[in-house]
Amino acid sequence: MTEVKGIIAAMQTAMNEDGSINEKEMRKQINRQIDAGVDAVFCLGTNGEFYIMNEQEKLDVMKIFVDEVAGRVPVYAGTGCVSTKDTIALSQKAKDIGVNVLSVITPYFAAINQNELYEHFYSLSESVDLPIVMYNMPARTGASLAPATVGKLAKNCKNIVGVKDSSGNFNNILQYIDETKDSDFSVLSGNDALILWTLLAGGQGGITAIANILPSVMVSIYQYYLKGDMEAAKKAQASIAPIRDCFKYGNPNSIVKCATNLIGQPVGPCRKPFGMVSEEAKKAIMEVISTYYSEYIGK
């Protein structure tokens, strides 16, 4: 079973100006991440705009990732849907394509309780023989995986091997770690600012959007941690604060994609209606890039 750890790049889906998938650029970006030393690549997450793609497009993206990666690093794919039935079906197709790890967001929109969340993930684990990383993002889904629920699933489902927490609440990460400390289970930060602190608390790494902009910086956080060079790790972790501050200008997905384009990586627009970043915001983002990250422009 694939070991869930390290810096996992939450990759954007490269698109043409008309919103269609840009396969050539997507393949280029996959290699850019691998060349930077990421531990895995992840398609169809929040930054991959899974929420605005139809099933065939999702399958096409997975096939491109599996083909281009060619076994060099694990491929994670987001397969979470609102219904359990659809989540299982898409996850089974992901396995057939050759995806290594499933990232499964909680069902969203309709209110859901912890028993329903438990049954959803338990049913998935019984139906698909792949490692599953649960994805907790309550601000966007309206559902929050309670630490006790995560602990119960970790104990009862051998292929539920991790959880990504994007709540931004470090205490939630600490509780996940505490609830799963007696099992072979990985707690990952979905908040780039908390990756090092998650590692120091006993977690295994992070799934990072900022890797689209600064892949080598994100990789260095983990590598310095492994070497025991905590001062360098803290410096690398702190260095991403200026670009994260730009999230105040809009949807973080849109800001990250805008910044990626501005450093000379033509990943294209977000699919409409999203991605409308003002000229004022673009100017501010470019100023941050020029001030703090000029050495990365064009890389």
Question: Residue 250: what are its φ and ψ, rounded to 5°?
Answer: 165, -165
Roughly what angle, to the nearest 10 degrees, separates helices 55-69 and 84-97? Answer: 30
Please confirm, yes or no, whether 164 is among the known catalytic residues.
Answer: yes
Could you say which of 135, 176, 222, 293 is catalytic?
135
Separation of alpha carbons 293 and 87, rounded Å: 39
- Cβ contact 46:13 at 8 Å: no
Could you say which of 5, 152, 164, 257 is catalytic?
164
Please confirm, yes or no, whether 292 is among the known catalytic residues.
Answer: no
Count Cβ atoms below 10 Å from residue 218 Cβ, excluding itself. Answer: 29
Sort residue 109 into left (φ over 0), alpha (ψ -120 to 50) or beta. Answer: left
User: Which positions are catalytic?
Assistant: 135, 164
